[in-house]
Structure 1
Amino acid sequence: MTLVLILIAVIVFIVLATSKYKLHPFLTLILAAFIAAFAYGLPSSSIAKTITSGFGGILGYIGLVIVLGTIIGTILEKSGAAITMADVVIKLLGKRFPTLTMSIIGYLVSIPVFCDSGFVILNSLKQSMANRMRVSSVSMSVALATGLYATHTFVPPTPGPIAAAGNLGLESNLGLVIGVGLLVSAVAAIAGMLWANRFAKVAPDGEGAEALSAENEDYEALKQSYGVLPSPVKAFSPIFIPILLICFGSIANFPSAPLGKDGLYQTLVFLGQPVNALLIGLFLSLPLLKGTNKVTEFSERISEGLVSAAPILLITGAGGAFGAVLKATPIGDYLGSTLSALGVGIFMPFLVSAALKSAQGSSTVALVTTSALVAPLLGQIGLDSEMGRVLTVMAIGAGAMTVSHANDSFFWVVAQFSRMSVNQAYKAQTMATLIQGVSAMFVVYLLSLVLL
């Protein structure tokens, strides 16, 4: 029982430090690792080595993937590729199903672009469509936000799911994580869109709401500000070709060896390794650069991407350090046997992640911390297979979207840009993320019944 009380105390420390005292998650997780190490009685001579090896171990492979994915996302964002993606979806679906269109746009754009940035970029498109199709901007905002949120928490190369997959030993099989993540996130996006439809006739009631109808031309002005937009092929290829390569690499590596063991197999396995696939994606993003001095512009985009990636790298590494300490303690065996007796199984990582997300606000922190926390327990709760680990990532992702409220920066982006009052944003956006998380977890549970 003492082992559990120590773990609870460490989790409470993480929650209070990040939510109440606003301590940076990186320092919080490092301190939590030291606190747990001393509290569990690890030899003092090995504590620093355990923490540094855990920090470096997770970043040794996943770090490059996060950096490359972030740089690609920065280039797509700055070049107007996200606008091109949105235009393609509108042309394909037309204007008959406005909330579905917005949800799909968000779903696609948030694979390479952070959901906060994606909402800001697409806000004027959303408002323009709402005005033209005479649909409430509240409904359209929730549809866009939940579409963005779905792939943000489930689909690599978004950093949170990548870090969780790395902590659970799936860094060489991200294709399977992507495939299952696309399915689970699609259900979450649909659930969010259906909730958004409830607000089809509800007007925003926040400050500046009356001025929204005057913003009809903003989207065209935004498009003009990017100059000549990239073609659909140029816009989609830097992110979808790497995803396809990673998926093909995973298929080639199936135990049944469907592609044999010769030249094609060797080629796909090489190209399907996430670092190699994303490096190809980075080269495919080069035609998106617009300046006369493309080398200088490319260097600037790399610098911007590195600045964006740095906090995520540090949090991910700190999560790896925390996880390494927990693996070195007896808490894994104890909790595993206890939870197995309770039959909680796949719901345990969901509940831990949901509690962390709701308490401190960051989906990435919830994904990193929970995956580090549950990694030592997988064997004891029957999730130590390849698919068990993938579904654990999905369960953690479902928890990491439950719920987005006032301590989450994305909540404020959605509320402020949509001119919703805080009360209205809780009813529309916060409830939507709760429904998304629960719906996604239900799908994960059904998959566990079939696949495990």
Structure 2
Amino acid sequence: MDLQLLAALLLGIAAVVIIVLRTRLDAFVGLLVACLVTGFVAGSTPTDILTAITEGFGTTLGSIGIVIGLGVALGKILEVSGAADALARAFTRAFGDGREAWAMASTGAVVSIPVFCDSAYVIMNPLARSIARRKRAGYVTLALALGCGMTLTHHMVPPTPGPLGVAGILGADLGMIILVGLVFSVILLPIVVVYARWIGPKLEKSVLPEVREKVYATVASGGTGGTTSDNGGEAPAESPLGTPPEGAKPRRMNAWLASLPLVIPLLLIVINTVGTAIDKSNQNVLGDDEAYEPSRWAAILAFIGSPVVALMLGLALAVYVLLPRWTRRDKVSGWLADAAASAGLIILITGAGGAFGQVLRSTGVGDELAKVIASWSLPGVLVPFLVATLVRLAQGSGTVAMITAASVTAPLIAGLGISPVAAAMACCAGSMVFSYFNDSYFWVVTRFTGLDGTAALRAWSGITTAVWLGSIPLLLIASAVL
């Protein structure tokens, strides 16, 4: 490989890592600096570099920015309405006594599809504590199962912002990403439960005394925290949703109702993907987008199943079905504004990732790297997987890791001989590895669980590495069949 182009790539990635770890700047600025470093080292002119940055940024956000914003807003309403908590309790009842770890892992996986891991864990952790308090044991097992169940779908299933950004950068079909991500998550879930059950009892004595006291202390038979109480999901009088008017019936959150804003958009997106594939098959134009002219029914499905329309419908359902009629308009506006604020940085990072990928393409770094990798015996799908792994270990953020890996991989897909969907899943899976001190979610889980030092590493770093290892054979199979 041309040493100048290799140096451009390595210095560009190093710029992201160093800026995130060693400066007061964030990944958005880091990725933009990486664009400049890569472009100048590769020998591009300043004008060409700036053109590539603006083109890549605009193209990426044009396809995915709206979707990220809607997905985060949907998650916020599920959080404040008590729908996430209602789903958790439904899973616990469904799995039954003795299978609490499965219930917690499954709950985490479902709730974390639209809700950020950090806030979702804070909302759901009181349920894990409540179960452990009743059983007088097993809190570490339940807390780990809940947290890592969230990790799976947070990294693999849209509308979580990371996978959405990866899909946009790589041009992967969003419906297929949802389907494959769900399959990966279901297959990896037993690893979560087995590891949590294995390590949990070993670390139960390592729980910090103050956390142990909060978990196992005898409490009155009231609520355990979160947005709903233990009495079937009825909202407390002093609720963030507002005080019910006098004479209003007690509000209960049904699990089926709670799932509608999440399930309906996902189904519409998947139906669109399946319908388009069937329509192409009927026209014998599979894989040839230029020759494809959608039929009338396929065009309708494409509209209502587009991520923008589907998530708009989901958000409308969440606001008008999950929130009670007495919730004030200004409260809802405030929640949506909070969601927009939290989505802003993710959107900017995703756009900067697209800009970095465009710089790699325009400078010729991507084509040159593809030629080199094509001469190796390494399976192509492991290239984005390893890039995401290294970036995650270096700077801690799974979202930054998968978006950086997607940016590096985008110019290489043809040379690697893998589909955009397989490449996207490799970026997402690689970013799960060994969560430790430089990952904010590490601190959320271990602080709430009450683990410190080596116990925290054995518990949380260990379980995230276990699912990372488990994803490798799945990726090899996906690269062969997708």
For structure 1, which segment, 123-132 or 409-418, has the greater mean C-alpha deviation from structure 2 after superposition? 123-132
Deviation at 1:421, TM superposition (A): 1.2
Compared with structure 1, are the counterparts of its residues 219 and 437 closer, same or farther at alpha carbon in structure 2 (3 Å cutoff)?
A: farther
Give the corresponding residue for 1:129: 131
Q: Which AA in structure 1 matches 2:477?
A: L
Give the corresponding residue for 2:207: 205
Deviation at 1:405, TM superposition (A): 0.5
1:377 aligns with 2:412: yes
1:280 aligns with 2:313: yes
Compared with structure 1, are the counterparts of its residues 152 and 139 closer, same or farther at alpha carbon in structure 2 (3 Å cutoff)?
A: same
CA RMSD of aligned residues (A): 1.9
Deviation at 1:221, TM superposition (A): 4.6
Out of 7, 10, 13, the residue aligned to residue 9 of structure 2 is 7
1:75 aligns with 2:51: no
1:424 aligns with 2:455: yes
CA contact 1:405–1:411 (8 Å) conserved in 2:
yes
1:352 aligns with 2:375: no
Q: How does 1:60-139 map to 2 (within 5 A)?
A: 60-139=62-141
Task: Work out the CA distance in 2 between the residues paired with 1:29 and 1:60.
Answer: 18
Q: Which AA in structure 2 matches 1:332?
A: G
CA contact 1:259–1:265 (8 Å) conserved in 2:
no
CA offsets per residue over residues 398-417 of structure 1, 9 Å max, x none? 11101210000100000100
1:409 aligns with 2:421: no
Give the corresponding residue for 2:289: none
CA contact 1:252–1:259 (8 Å) conserved in 2:
no
Give the corresponding residue for 2:257: 234
1:399 aligns with 2:430: yes
Where does structure 1 lack aligned partners over 5 or more consecutive residues?
none
Aligned partner of residue 59 in structure 2, secondary structure: helix
CA offsets per residue over residues 192-237 of structure 1, 9 Å max, x none? 2211011342314335233121276675454239433422232101
Compared with structure 1, are the counterparts of its residues 196 and 49 closer, same or farther at alpha carbon in structure 2 (3 Å cutoff)?
A: same
Compared with structure 1, are the counterparts of its residues 22 and 435 closer, same or farther at alpha carbon in structure 2 (3 Å cutoff)?
A: farther
CA contact 1:336–1:381 (8 Å) conserved in 2:
yes
Q: Which AA in structure 2 matches 1:438?
A: L
Q: How does 1:180-329 map to 2 (within 5 A)?
A: 180-202=180-202, 203=204, 204-206=206-208, 208-211=210-213, 212-214=215-217, 219-222=223-226, 223-224=228-229, 226-227=235-236, 228-254=251-277, 257=280, 262-286=295-319, 287-290=321-324, 292-329=326-363
Aligned partner of residue 97 in structure 2, secondary structure: coil
Deviation at 1:21, TM superposition (A): 2.7
Deviation at 1:138, TM superposition (A): 1.2
CA contact 1:161–1:397 (8 Å) conserved in 2:
yes
Deviation at 1:107, TM superposition (A): 0.6
Compared with structure 1, are the counterparts of its residues 215 and 147 closer, same or farther at alpha carbon in structure 2 (3 Å cutoff)?
A: farther
Task: Work out the CA distance in 2 between the residues paired with 1:300 and 1:229.
Answer: 23
Compared with structure 1, are the counterparts of its residues 176 and 428 closer, same or farther at alpha carbon in structure 2 (3 Å cutoff)?
A: same
Q: Which AA in structure 1 matches 2:394?
A: A
Where does structure 2 lack aligned partners over 5 or more consecutive residues?
237-250, 284-293
Give the corresponding residue for 2:46: 44
Compared with structure 1, are the counterparts of its residues 13 and 401 closer, same or farther at alpha carbon in structure 2 (3 Å cutoff)?
A: same
Task: Work out the CA distance in 2 between the residues paired with 1:210 and 1:246.
Answer: 44
Task: Work out the CA distance in 2 between the residues paired with 1:234 and 1:27.
Answer: 41
Structure (1 or 2) with the larger CA radius of gyration: 2
CA offsets per residue over residues 28-75 of structure 1, 9 Å max, x none? 111111111111111222222211121111111200000000000000
CA offsets per residue over residues 267-297 of structure 1, 9 Å max, x none? 2111111001001101111222236254323
Query: Aligned pair count?
Result: 445
Task: Work out the CA distance in 2 between the residues paired with 1:141 and 1:169.
Answer: 36
Q: Which AA in structure 1 matches 2:86?
A: T
CA contact 2:71–2:311 (8 Å) conserved in 1:
yes
Deviation at 1:22, TM superposition (A): 4.5
Aligned partner of residue 403 in structure 1, secondary structure: coil
Q: Which AA in structure 2 matches 1:21?
A: T
Deviation at 1:20, TM superposition (A): 2.9
Aligned partner of residue 230 in structure 1, secondary structure: coil
Task: Work out the CA distance in 2 between the residues paired with 1:127 and 1:22.
Answer: 36
Q: How does 1:171-186 map to 2 (within 5 A)?
A: 173-186=173-186
CA contact 1:155–1:181 (8 Å) conserved in 2:
yes
1:361 aligns with 2:396: yes
CA offsets per residue over residues 292-325 of structure 1, 9 Å max, x none? 2543232122101101101101111111111111
Compared with structure 1, are the counterparts of its residues 276 and 22 closer, same or farther at alpha carbon in structure 2 (3 Å cutoff)?
A: same
Structure 1 length as normaliser, TM-score?
0.94
Task: Work out the CA distance in 1 between the residues paired with 2:382 and 2:430.
Answer: 9
Give aligned-pair identity as a percent: 35
Structure 2 length as normaliser, TM-score?
0.88
Compared with structure 1, are the counterparts of its residues 390 and 83 closer, same or farther at alpha carbon in structure 2 (3 Å cutoff)?
A: same
CA contact 2:28–2:349 (8 Å) conserved in 1:
yes
CA contact 2:158–2:178 (8 Å) conserved in 1:
yes
Compared with structure 1, are the counterparts of its residues 324 and 44 closer, same or farther at alpha carbon in structure 2 (3 Å cutoff)?
A: same
Task: Work out the CA distance in 1 between the residues paired with 2:224 and 2:17.
Answer: 43
Aligned partner of residue 54 in structure 1, secondary structure: helix
Out of 438, 442, 448, the residue aligned to residue 469 of structure 2 is 438
Q: Which AA in structure 1 matches 2:62?
A: G
